[in-house]
Amino acid sequence: MGSKCRSRTTESVSRPVIRSPRLELRITEAEDIARLVAQISDFEVAKTLARVPCPYREADAEAFRSAASAAMALGLDLPLTIALDGELIGGIGLTDIRGGCDFGYWLGRDYWGKGYASEAGRAFLDHAFENYDTAIIRSGVFIGNDASLRVQEKLGFEVVGRRMVHCLARGRVIEHIDTMLTRERFTSLTS
Identify whether the C-beta of residue 126 lies closer than 8 Å to the C-beta of residue 6: yes
Phi-psi region of 156 (alpha: psi -120 to 50; beta: other; left: phi over 0): left
DSSP 27: P
Task: Name the segment binding ligand COA (CB under 6 A); options: 80-88, 99-107, 163-171, 181-189.
Answer: 99-107
Size of the site for ligand COA (CB under 6 A): 20
Angle between helices 116-131 and 146-155 (to 10 degrees): 40
Task: Tell which one of 80, 123, 137, 141 touches ligand COA (CB under 6 A).
Answer: 141
Burial class of residue 55 in the structure, from the number of CB atoms within 10 Å of its CB (0-12 exposed, 13-18 middle, 19+ buried): exposed
Using CB under 6 A as the binding rule, whether residue 95 contacts ligand COA is answered as no
Taking the least distance from each CB to ligand COA, the nearer of 16 and 121 is: 121
* 150 belongs to the binding site for ligand COA (CB under 6 A): yes
Among 147, 160, 164, 173, binds ligand COA (CB under 6 A): 147
- C-alpha to C-alpha distance for 46 and 90, rounded to whole angstroms: 12
Q: How far is the CB of 48 from ligand COA (least distance, A)?
A: 3
132 binds ligand COA (CB under 6 A): no
